[in-house]
Amino acid sequence: MYEEYITALYDVFQMLNKLADHKRDQRLKVICLCIFNYIKFIAKEHDVSIANNRSVNADNEINVAIIYEYMNAHSIEPYDFSNIRMEDVNVNDTKDLERFVLSHIYYLIQK
């Protein structure tokens, strides 16, 4: 499961990173960096090589269902970014950071 999940995350990262480059969107570029760091962390934690997951499918289809399934299986609710405060995210807690990154992915792939 983790290999498919990490591949889906990497595909989302690549798509968003290309979009950030195209639009010259620095905010999105920073979010992409956070996503990439999360991917490296979870890949290392579960001994999955991201070197094998470095290409978006030729037809640009991304398996986002696996991301939603992961969030559901781990009871991860996206942050409500319209009501979030700095103290809501503990940057020293990996679960909070995971939730923060997955919240960004969740909302960005909704668009």
Structure tokens at 109: 């792939």
Q: Which of 3, 22, 14, 2 is nearest to 62 (CA)?
A: 14
- For residue 19, the model assigns a pLDDT of 93
108 CB-contact burial (10 Å; exposed 0-12 / middle 13-18 / buried 19+): middle
pLDDT digits 0-9 by tens, 32-88: 999 999 999 999 999 988 776 555 554 567 889 999 999 999 999 999 988 888 788
| 5 contacts: CB under 8 Å, gap ≥ 6 | 42, 66, 67, 70
Confirm whether pTM is higher than 0.95: no
Four-residue CA torsion sign, 96, 90, 37, 18: positive
Number of domains in the chain: 1
Segments forming the whole domain that contains residue 29: 2-110
